[in-house]
Structure 1
Amino acid sequence: MKMRTPPDSPGLFPDLPLVPDFSLESRAKRRELWPVAGTDEAGRGPLAGPVVAAAVILDPKRIPEGLNDSKKLSASQREVLYERILSMATVSIASSSPKRIDLIDIRKASLDAMRRAVAGLSLEARHVLADGRDVPMGLTCSGEPVVKGDARSVSIAAASIIAKVMRDRMMMRAGLVYPDYGFEVHAGYGTDRHRSAIVTHGPCPLHRMSFRPLKLAAIESAGEGPD
């Protein structure tokens, strides 16, 4: 018998499924809010690269098997599901660049990318399930924040997979353009190798200079000038 892992907020989600399901989408559909789009992002935490968001409208009759929070899947599983989602659902992808992240902050940049992903759907959504505690500003339809959404909603889980795979592919390409940093290995996260490369080579145009490690490095570098 498979045991359920206790939630980190006891009592908040007493009926949290072992895998995401279609119940939130079905509830919206009963309220005549259809189509429903799930949206999620990938890349809030890294020191470099864009934040990538995806929006997905699933066909209730053709939901790909195996959908789950992208963090619980292997890279090969994500790649397979990425292709299945693209072939069976309505999908849109948007991103916010490092410069935009530095300009407006990572939270706003993430939400804006989610908004633009929803706006880019070829099928207009009437309701949006957004992973997290916030609903993107500027939606043309109703929106609902879903904490731990990628573990609760198959639409959000599908969006998390699309966003993750697309961002990983972008960072693989970045590794070819900026080979000194190893982006193809760590995808811009603050690993020891990445931090060491920043110290050795300085930041590149893909680095988020508003993030604390890079901000501190810039301050230290400025302080090393002539007296």
Structure 2
Amino acid sequence: MATKNKANVDLNSVFAELSGQFRGLNTNEPGQWPLLPRLATFAAVAIAVLIVGWFAMLSGTTDELQAERDREPGLKQDFRAKLGQAVNLGELRKQKIQVQEYVTQLEKQLPGKAEMDALLSDINQAGLGRGLQFELFRPGQVAVKDYYAELPITIKVSGRYHDIGSFAADVANLSRIVTLHNLTITGQQGGANAAAAGAGGNLTMDALARTYRYLDPAEVELQRKTEAAKKPGGAKR
């Protein structure tokens, strides 16, 4: 019984001594505090820092998680689209080959630079073959596009109404692409309605013909360099 009372006295004295270290602490001079208050304060600050850091990290992770969740519908849709392409890959390859063949056929309808003189001669012969008289046949300035060049030709011919119509059809049926624009047909007497009433008389047709040719590799490369130079900073590179 005496031993039990002695143990209680010792514990009470220890607790009293420990609690006494927290009394009368000067908050302006924590360096002079006893060891236990300093350790307790350090532990409290460390725990507070850990809690704040944990919530900060958790908040950033939550934002990232929400961002990934927002991306999920788009990724699913992209996956479905790519899955459909994968399933139809064989058919898509066949379509690609067909498109390439169609483009090749169109390119064959465009003359090269060396063939332009022959094409202009074909247009001229188409008019002469229908008995038309060329009052004007003037090629304009070549306009270079991305992968082709466009040549405008101002045409003025005179002849009978049906011959002019046949000439327009002949131009449309040339092996090379030639288009007619801004067609104006008038009677040689100056009557605006002579085209409808004067099928047996001579008429005059003014038109702008446009023909096209493909660019050779050197012209394509030059065109690319020109376009690159037009971009900001392109000339420096």
TM-score where L is the length of structure 1: 0.23
Which structure is higher in helix share?
A: 2
Which structure is higher in strand share?
A: 2
* Bigger Rg, which one: 2
RCO greater where, 1 or 2, for CA within 8 Å and sep 6 or more? 1
TM-score where L is the length of structure 2: 0.23
